[in-house]
Structure 1
Amino acid sequence: MRLGGRLQAAIEILGDMDKRECPAAESLKDWGQSHRFAGSSDRAAIGNIVYDALRRRASISWRMESEAVADIAYGALLGDGGLTLEELAAMLAGDRFAPPPLAPSLVAAWQSRKLADAPDVIQADLPQWCVSQFEQLLGTGWAAEGQALGRRPPLDLRANTLRSTPEEVVKAMAGTQAEAVSWFPQAVRIAPVAGLGRHPKVQMEAAFQNGWFEVQDLGSQIVARLCGARAGMQVLDYCAGAGGKTLALAADMENRGQIHACDAANTRLAPIFERLRRAGVHNAQVHTEKTELAALNGRMDLVVVDAPCTGSGTWRRHPDTKWRLTGSQLQHRVAEQQNVLAAAAPFVKTGGRLVYITCSLFYDEDDGQIAHFLARQSGFRLCDMAAIWQAAITQAAAPAPRFTLSGLVLSPHISESDGFYIAVMEKTA
C-alpha cells in the first residue's frame, strides 16, 4: 500500500472507533481481518497514524481548527509522522486511494497556529476534567506531564537475571538497536519508532523464548525494585495479573523464599504459568481461588497491591482510553482500590510492608487513596520513600523522581517511563 491508502485506512479506523465507541486495538484488528491484502508493514504504518492521532487529538484539532477525524489523521502525519506539508502533498499526488487533500483553510490554520499559544490543557492533550487530578498530584508541572504522555513510547525489556545478564540480552538483540539503560542495569531499551516504522517482534527472538528477558516498561521495573523483595521473604502479589511484577520480584529474590500470586480474575492470571516456566521461576505459587489465601493471614513480609486503576499513566501506549474515560469510571476504580487495599492489609505481618502501586497519575487513585487508607487503618505508617529510592536506585545518573505527600511518581517527563505511583507502608501493630 502507498501512503494514501494507509492514510485512508487510518481515517476509516478512527471513524469506526468514534461510531462504535470501541478500543483502537479492536478497530485495527477488525480492519485488518477485512483487508487481508494489507501486509504487516502496512498495518504497522496505519497503526502509527491512528495512535499518533489519538495521542495528540486535542492539539492537532486546535491547530487544524477542525475536529474531523480525516483532518486529525493528516495532522498525525504532519506531527509524529515527521512529514512537511510539501512532502505529504508530493507523496499523495496521483494516489487514487488517498483521501481528499486538506482544504486550504486547514493548511493555513496549521501553518499559522503555534501550539505554544494554545491553552495548557490543549498543549497537554488532556480532557478538561482530568486537569485537576493531574494538578493535585503533579503540581505546576502537570502540563509537561500531559505533553510527555502524548509522545511515542519506547519498547523496554527487563533482563531476567535468573537466566541471563543485561549484557547478554543486549548482545543477543544487537539487530534491534537495543541499548542498556545506564542507571537501571536490568533495563534494556529499544527507542521509539520513527516515521511509519515499527518495533521489532522481540517475542520471536530466541533470547525471549529462552527466558532471557521479558517485555516490561521501565517504570514497572522500577516500582517492582522499590518493593524491596529479598531472598527468603514471604511475598504476596495480591493483584498479579499476567505476572510481570511477579517475575521481577522472583528475580530480585534470586528464586529463594516464596511468592504467592493471585488475582481477582483468573482470566488475567492465565498467561502467568507459561511465563513462570520460561523465566525459570521456581519460588512462585499461583492461587486461582482467594479462599486459598486464608493460611497466609498475618504471615507475609511483603504484600504488593498493583491495584486496578484508570491506566492514565499508560496513555502514550493506550491513548484511546484517554478520551473514553469518564469521572464516574474513575470513582468506580477508586472504590475498587479501597476494597482491594482493605482486603490485602490483613496478610501483612507486624513489621512487614504493604506496597501500593498504580499506573495512574490521578490524585484520587494515588495520594488520595493512601490518605483514605491510613485514616481507616491505624496499624500502618508511611515509609520514607526517599530512603527507599536511594537504597534501591544506586546509579548517580538516575533521574530524581517526584516525591509526593505519601509516595513517589514516575512518568514519561520525569523518568522517561510510563506513569507509575508507589507508596510503601509498614505494619506497626
Structure 2
Amino acid sequence: MRLPGRLAAAIEVLTDVETRKRPVSEALKAWGINNRFAGAGDRAAIGNLVYDALRRRASHAFVMGSDTPRALVLAVAMRDWGDSADALNAAFADDSHAPEAIDELADNDIATAPDWVRADVPEWLAPSLERAFGADWIAEGEAMTGRPSLDLRANALKASPEKVMRSLARFSPQPTAIAPFGLTMPAGPRDARTPNVTTDEGYLKGWFEVQDQGSQIVSAIAGAREGEQVLDLCAGAGGKTLALAATMGNSGQIFAYDADRNRLAPIYDRLKRNGVRNAQVRAPNPGALDDLAGKMDRVVIDAPCTGTGTWRRRPDTKWKLTPELLAQRQGEQAELLKEGLRYLKPGGTLVYITCSILPEENDDQIVALKAAHPELTTLNMAQAWRSALITDLPQGLATPEGGLCLTPRRTNTDGFYIHLLRNGER
C-alpha cells in the first residue's frame, strides 16, 4: 500500500474506534482480518497513524479546525510526519484509494490555542495536572504525546543484559539510562515498525521480559530483599512479581494475588518461563490471604488507576477518562491501602505504586492514609533510590508528600508514582 491508501485505512480504523467505542487495538485487529492483502509494514504504518492521531488529538483538531477522523489522520501526515498539503494532494490525485483533498481544512496557529489543547489533555484535567507539575504542566502533557520506546528487563535469574543484547543484536538495543537491567529500543519515525522480540529465543527461554523502564525503576525502589516475606497484592499478569523475584535472588517468598482471576491468569506461565521459584500464587478465593495477616515484611500495592502515566501507549484512554472513573479508582485505591495494612507486620514497609500522574491518585491517597494511621512514616526516597539504582536521585522527581513521580519528560519513561511507608518502628 502507498501512503494515500494507508491514510484512508487509518481514517477507516479511527472512524470504527469512535463510532463503535471500541479499543484501538481491537479495531486495528479487525481491520487486518478484513484486509488480509495488507502486509506487516502496512499494518504497522496504519497503527502508527491511528495512535499518533489520538496522542495529539486536541492540538490536531485545533490546527485543522475539525476533530473528524479524516482531519486527525491528515494532521498526523502534515504535523507529525512532515508531508506538505501540496505533496499529499498530488499523491491523492494519482491514487484511487486516497482520501479527499485537504484544501478546505483550516491551518490554525497552535500558539493561540488554550493551554489544555497545547498540552493535549482533557480540559477538565488541566487543574489537576497544574497542581502536580506547576508551571511545567503543559510541557509534561506535550511529552506524553510522543511515541514510547520498547523497553526490556534482563532477567537476572537467567541472563545478564549483555547476553540479552547479543541475542537481540539485530534490533540494536541499548542500555537504559537508569534501570540497571534495562535495555531499550527507541521508537522510530513515521511508519517504523516496533521489533517483535517475543519470538526471540531469549524471550522464550526467559532471559528477558518486556517492561517499561519506569516499571523497572519502581520495582527496584520497592526494595524487596533476599529472604523477605512479600505480598504483591495487585499482581495482575505478574510483571512486577517477576522483577521482585529477580531482586530477591529467588529467596524468601512472594505471595502473588489479584482480585481479578482473569488478570492473574498469565502469571503461571510467566513464572515458569522466568525460572521463578520463590513466588506462590494465591487465587482470589474467600480467605485466600488470611494466614498472611500481620506477617509480611513488605506489601506491594500496584494499585488500579486511571493509567494516565501510560497515555503514550494507550492514547485512546486519555479521551475516555471521566471524573466519575477517577473517583471510582480513588475509592478502590483507598480500600486497597487499608487492606494492605492488614498484612503488614510491625516495622514492615508498605509500597504504594500507580501508573498515574494525577495527585488525586498519588499524594492525596498518602495524605489520607497517614491521617488515619499516624503510625505510618514516609521513608527517605532519595536513600531508597540510591540503594536500588546506585545513582543519586535526579532533581524534580520528589512530590510534596515525599513520594516520587516519573514521567516521559523527566525520566523518559511512562508515568509512575511510588511511595514507601514504614509501619511503626523497626
TM (norm. structure 2) is 0.96
Farther off after superposition, 121-130 or 132-141: 132-141
Deviation at 1:356, TM superposition (A): 0.5
Aligned to 1:365, the other structure's residue is in SS state coil
Alignment of 1:320-399 (within 5 A): 320-395=316-391, 399=394
Q: Contact 1:157/1:215 (CA < 8 Å) preserved in 2?
A: yes
Q: Contact 1:184/1:395 (CA < 8 Å) preserved in 2?
A: no
CA distance in 2, matches of 1:294, 1:174: 47
- Could you list the per-position Cα deviations for residues 74-110 of structure 1 after superposition, in whole angstroms to 9, with x for gaps in the alignment? 011223334333443444341100010102x42xx43
Q: Contact 2:175/2:184 (CA < 8 Å) preserved in 1?
A: yes
CA distance in 1, matches of 2:414, 2:84: 29
Q: Name the residue aligned to 1:21.
A: 21
Q: Contact 2:85/2:102 (CA < 8 Å) preserved in 1?
A: no
CA distance in 1, matches of 2:80, 2:200: 28
CA distance in 2, matches of 1:381, 1:225: 20
* Residue 100, structure 1, aligned to residue 100, structure 2: yes
Q: Name the residue aligned to 2:408.
A: 412
Deviation at 1:249, TM superposition (A): 0.4
Deviation at 1:305, TM superposition (A): 0.1
Q: Name the residue aligned to 1:125.
A: 120
Q: Residue 86 and residue 172 in structure 1: after superposition, are their counterparts in 2 closer, same or farther (change >3 A)?
A: farther
Deviation at 1:15, TM superposition (A): 1.3
Q: Which amino acid aligns with 1:72?
A: L
Q: Contact 1:410/1:421 (CA < 8 Å) preserved in 2?
A: yes
Q: Name the residue aligned to 2:146.
A: 151
Alignment of 1:42-53 (within 5 A): 42-53=42-53
Farther off after superposition, 181-190 or 415-424: 181-190
Q: Name the residue aligned to 1:140.
A: 135
CA distance in 2, matches of 1:115, 1:189: 32
* Residue 223, structure 1, aligned to residue 218, structure 2: yes
* Residue 193, structure 1, aligned to residue 193, structure 2: no
CA distance in 2, matches of 1:32, 1:278: 30
Q: Name the residue aligned to 2:159.
A: 164
Alignment of 1:63-102 (within 5 A): 63-102=63-102
Q: Residue 351 and residue 120 in structure 1: after superposition, are their counterparts in 2 closer, same or farther (change >3 A)?
A: same
Match of 1:214 among 197, 209, 212: 209
Aligned to 2:80, the other structure's residue is in SS state coil
Q: Residue 82 and residue 215 in structure 1: after superposition, are their counterparts in 2 closer, same or farther (change >3 A)?
A: farther
* Residue 181, structure 1, aligned to residue 163, structure 2: no
CA distance in 1, matches of 2:396, 2:246: 24
CA distance in 1, matches of 2:331, 2:27: 30
CA distance in 2, matches of 1:248, 1:89: 50
Deviation at 1:211, TM superposition (A): 0.7
CA distance in 2, matches of 1:307, 1:183: 23
Aligned to 1:424, the other structure's residue is in SS state strand
Aligned to 2:324, the other structure's residue is in SS state helix
CA distance in 2, matches of 1:102, 1:364: 42
Aligned to 2:98, the other structure's residue is in SS state coil
CA distance in 1, matches of 2:318, 2:217: 24
Deviation at 1:401, TM superposition (A): 4.8
- Could you list the per-position Cα deviations for residues 324-359 of structure 1 after superposition, in whole angstroms to 9, with x for gaps in the alignment? 111001101111111111111111111110010000
Q: Residue 357 and residue 428 in structure 1: after superposition, are their counterparts in 2 closer, same or farther (change >3 A)?
A: same
Aligned to 1:214, the other structure's residue is in SS state strand
Q: Which amino acid aligns with 2:195?
A: P
Q: Contact 2:354/2:418 (CA < 8 Å) preserved in 1?
A: yes
Aligned to 2:244, the other structure's residue is in SS state helix
**How many residues are paired up?**
423
Farther off after superposition, 256-265 or 14-23: 14-23
Farther off after superposition, 217-226 or 3-12: 3-12
Q: Contact 1:149/1:412 (CA < 8 Å) preserved in 2?
A: yes
Aligned-residue RMSD, C-alpha: 1.5
Alignment of 1:292-311 (within 5 A): 292-311=288-307
Q: Contact 2:178/2:217 (CA < 8 Å) preserved in 1?
A: no
Deviation at 1:400, TM superposition (A): 3.5
Q: Residue 350 and residue 185 in structure 1: after superposition, are their counterparts in 2 closer, same or farther (change >3 A)?
A: same
- Could you list the per-position Cα deviations for residues 142-164 of structure 1 after superposition, in whole angstroms to 9, with x for gaps in the alignment? 11111011011100000111111
Q: Which amino acid aligns with 2:415?
A: G
TM (norm. structure 1) is 0.95
CA distance in 2, matches of 1:391, 1:145: 28
Deviation at 1:391, TM superposition (A): 2.2
Q: Contact 1:121/1:128 (CA < 8 Å) preserved in 2?
A: yes
Q: Contact 1:172/1:207 (CA < 8 Å) preserved in 2?
A: yes
CA distance in 2, matches of 1:80, 1:211: 37
Farther off after superposition, 78-87 or 411-420: 78-87
Note the residue ranges of structure 2 that are not aligned, 5 or more in a row.
none
CA distance in 1, matches of 2:141, 2:368: 26
Q: Contact 2:116/2:123 (CA < 8 Å) preserved in 1?
A: yes
Q: Name the residue aligned to 2:58.
A: 58
CA distance in 1, matches of 2:172, 2:396: 27
Deviation at 1:176, TM superposition (A): 0.6
- Could you list the per-position Cα deviations for residues 214-249 of structure 1 after superposition, in whole angstroms to 9, with x for gaps in the alignment? 000010000000100111111000000000000000
Q: Name the residue aligned to 1:400.
A: 395
